[in-house]
């Protein structure tokens, strides 16, 4: 008997888990926040109890999908930050990378960041806030590490890098969420505006003559 094919073999279990996540991805791409465990099990050709056996519950599956997509996004963001280019250009490229990712797979983004509501406005499905906050925190810590590694911020630099990292991620998330929902401008315009803000334009711009100061 070939023991490498036994169900308990770690490699086999890991491969099966990956296949189930790929099936879940296909359902999420189709259904977005409305993706259900029943639909995911059907897509994978298994019963729901088997799906629970691999991930525990909905929250376990959500967490696995979140890590899968966050890892991919972080890899792309790091590549953009490390590209051989002038600093402002790298910042623009990083913002473009984030926005392009949520634009390319909006259903995945909505699944990870927005709850499903029933006809009465009550939230159903995954407890999104419980899981999306740690994802954003992880992105903030990762970006802080990159900033700390690449920019000389002087005394207290590590603390300042964390402030900047979490602040930039919060800005990207809020602006990206608004943009994806309303499409008030092109991606290029949004990137340019956010980069101007990061580059200190708010601090150097004069007050409007027809409005209160800021």
Query: What does the pLDDT read at residue 22?
Result: 94
Say what angle helices 187-198 and 157-182 make with each other, to 10 degrees: 160
Query: What does the pLDDT read at residue 10?
Result: 53
- CA angle 94/99/105 to nearest 5° reads 130
> Model pTM?
0.78
Looking at the domain that runs over 57-200, which CATH code has it been given?
1.10.357.10
The tally of CA atoms less than 13 A away on the side-chain side of residue 138 is 13
Do residues 214 and 140 make contact, with C-beta atoms less than 8 angstroms apart?
Answer: no
Query: What does the pLDDT read at residue 180?
Result: 93
Query: What does the pLDDT read at residue 121?
Result: 41
As a whole number of angstroms, the distance between CA 168 and CA 71 comes to 18
- Please count the other Cβ atoms lying within 10 Å of the Cβ belonging to residue 178: 12
Which mean pLDDT values do the consecutive 10-residue runs of the chain (214 residues) have? Answer: 44 87 92 88 93 86 85 87 85 93 90 62 49 79 86 88 93 94 96 92 66 57
Q: Tokens 């994802």 map to which residue?
A: 135
Query: What does the pLDDT read at residue 213?
Result: 53
């Amino acid at each position: 008997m070939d023991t490498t094919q036994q169900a308990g073999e770690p490699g086999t279990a890991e491969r099966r888990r990956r296949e189930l996540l790929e099936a879940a991805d296909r359902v999420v791409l189709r259904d977005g926040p409305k993706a259900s465990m029943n639909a995911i099990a059907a897509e994978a050709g298994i019963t729901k109890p088997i799906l629970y056996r691999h991930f525990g519950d909905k929250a376990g599956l959500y967490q696995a999908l979140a890590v899968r997509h966050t890892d991919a996004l972080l890899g792309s963001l790091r590549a953009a930050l490390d590209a051989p280019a002038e600093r402002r250009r790298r910042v623009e490229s990083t913002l473009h990378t984030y926005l392009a990712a949520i634009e390319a797979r909006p259903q995945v983004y909505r699944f990870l960041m927005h709850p499903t509501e029933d006809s009465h406005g009550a939230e159903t499905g995954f407890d999104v806030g419980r899981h999306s906050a740690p994802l954003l925190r992880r992105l903030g810590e990762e970006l802080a590490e990159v900033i700390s590694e690449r920019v000389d911020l002087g005394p207290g630099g590590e603390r300042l890098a964390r402030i900047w990292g979490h602040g930039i991620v919060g800005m990207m998330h809020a602006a990206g969420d608004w943009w994806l929902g309303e499409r008030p401008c092109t991606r290029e315009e949004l990137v340019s505006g956010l980069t101007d803000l990061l580059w200190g334009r708010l601090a150097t711009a004069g007050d409007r003559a027809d409005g209160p100061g800021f």
